[in-house]
Structure 1
Amino acid sequence: MTETTPTLGTDTDTTQAAGWLRVVPMLAHRWPTWLGLAFAAINLADTGDGTEFSFLLLLAASGYLLVAVLDRPRVTWPVLYALVAAVVVLRLFDFDPWPVLAVVAVLVVAVGLVRGQLRRPGLYALQSPAALGFIALGLAALYVPADIGRYLVAAGLLAHAVWDGIHWRANKIVARSFAEWCGVLDLVVGLAILMLVH
């Protein structure tokens, strides 16, 4: 009777391979987090005084409002793409996107209140005041000295990260993947403004 000697490292290699196979789906499942980190890195690559990130407050607030009024979370990402495209087109034609999108947000609030989506209880009813608050904070940051403005933008982004977290947990209004992406982006950029911009 012959004995076979176990190959050294085989069980360990198999266990490590199985561990990695479990990690990969977990990392892939967190794609909104990685996308948020990538967007934050791209945006922070060319940081000025910090107030240039006030547009993130406008985009986020407008996006949440539009999706709430449409009452279809599955259109969250297309709404974001449309808003970003609108900003790009407006800037290509030398139009400041702030007034245009702020007016659109006010019109969306009016439509949502008339049609009733923004009068529904819970998170729906909070969309209008929250969006108008974030937009007002972003606008205020543009009209005060930059030393104060950057702190307003940072505070707005950190507050919006909390708002994203509330939506992520509730899994309502916007797609959960969007709430995660937006929360990571807001948190990282908000903290970076506080730490990196002097």
Structure 2
Amino acid sequence: MIPPSRAPGAATDPTGDGDVAGKPWWLRAALAVGRRWPTWLALTCAAISLADVGDGLEYMILFVLPATGYLFLAVVDRPRITWVVAVAAMATVVVLRTLDIDPWPALAVVVVALAAVGLLNDRLRRPRLYALQSPGALAFMAFGLVVLSVPATVAGYLVAIGLLGHAAWDAMHWRANKIVARSFAEWCGVLDLVLGVGLLALLLVR
């Protein structure tokens, strides 16, 4: 009997429980903790980052860049390469900033180009989550531009809102288990949520 094929765009690393029947309780507990490694990694990253946060504007890239990456992964329909794409995208931004090149114009061009390609190859014409990728990436990009245009005293709060908005976006992808690797959606969602709440708290007490 031929096993059913995986649906297009389905992530390949779901964090399901698997078959743990018959295993000792301590091993089941260890496996349960281990399956949540994206959450532990995100909490660690957030704690380190919040310990040395400035005005919060440094976090703006965290909801614009991933939205662009999600759009790219929807166009190529390769969830398996999610982490490779994420690392490559972050490395590119670091290199651009090192060379004193503003990454925002390049990101805007990439978003528009990906939206056009995705419509041409029909990947972004699919229903539900696929159809939301272009509007979602454009919305996060536009929100980032709004943040850049307001006073710094207001911008930090908007960045926190953007992070919380992207946490919800991550949750949608995690639940659907499509377009991006589920482990990345979990990591990104927890990171965005903790940074967004932490940034709001820090801004309110300053």
Query: Common fold, TM-score beyond 0.5?
Result: yes
In structure 1, what is the equivalent of residue 66 of structure 2? 60
Do structure 1's residue 172 and structure 2's residue 178 form an aligned pair?
yes
Which segments of 5 or more consecutive residues in structure 1 lack a partner in the other structure? 1-17
Question: Separation in 2 of the partners of 1:57 and 1:69?
Answer: 19
| CA deviation after TM superposition for structure 1 residue 118, in Å | 1.1
CA deviations over 1:95-149 (Å, ceiling 9, x no partner): 1222212221221111111211111111000011111111111221111012221
Q: How does 1:17-32 map to 2 (within 5 A)?
A: 18-32=24-38
Identity score, percent? 62
Q: Which of 112, 116, 141 is the matching residue for 2:122?
A: 116
| CA deviation after TM superposition for structure 1 residue 43, in Å | 2.4
Residues 117, 33 of structure 1: CA spacing in aligned structure 2 closer, same or farther, 3 A cutoff? same
In structure 1, what is the equivalent of residue 132 of structure 2? 126
In structure 2, what is the equivalent of residue 72 of structure 1? 78
| CA deviation after TM superposition for structure 1 residue 68, in Å | 0.5
CA deviations over 1:16-45 (Å, ceiling 9, x no partner): xx5433221111100110111122123223
In structure 1, what is the equivalent of residue 40 of structure 2? 34
Do structure 1's residue 185 and structure 2's residue 191 form an aligned pair?
yes
CA deviations over 1:134-165 (Å, ceiling 9, x no partner): 11112211110122211211111111111111
Question: Separation in 2 of the partners of 1:128 and 1:193?
Answer: 28
Which segments of 5 or more consecutive residues in structure 2 lack a partner in the other structure? 1-23
Secondary structure at 1:104's aligned position in 2? Answer: helix
- Cα RMSD (Å) of the superposition? 1.3
Q: Which of 75, 82, 88 is the matching residue for 1:82?
A: 88
CA deviations over 1:54-74 (Å, ceiling 9, x no partner): 111121111101110111111
| CA deviation after TM superposition for structure 1 residue 177, in Å | 0.5
More helix by share: 1
In structure 2, what is the equivalent of residue 8 of structure 1? none
Question: How many residues were matched structurally?
Answer: 181
Question: Separation in 2 of the partners of 1:137 and 1:183?
Answer: 18
In structure 2, what is the equivalent of residue 14 of structure 1? none
Secondary structure at 1:94's aligned position in 2? Answer: coil
Q: Which amino acid counterpart does residue 154 of structure 1 have in structure 2?
A: A
Bigger relative CO (Cα 8 Å, ≥ 6 apart): 2
Q: Which amino acid counterpart does residue 68 of structure 1 have in structure 2?
A: A
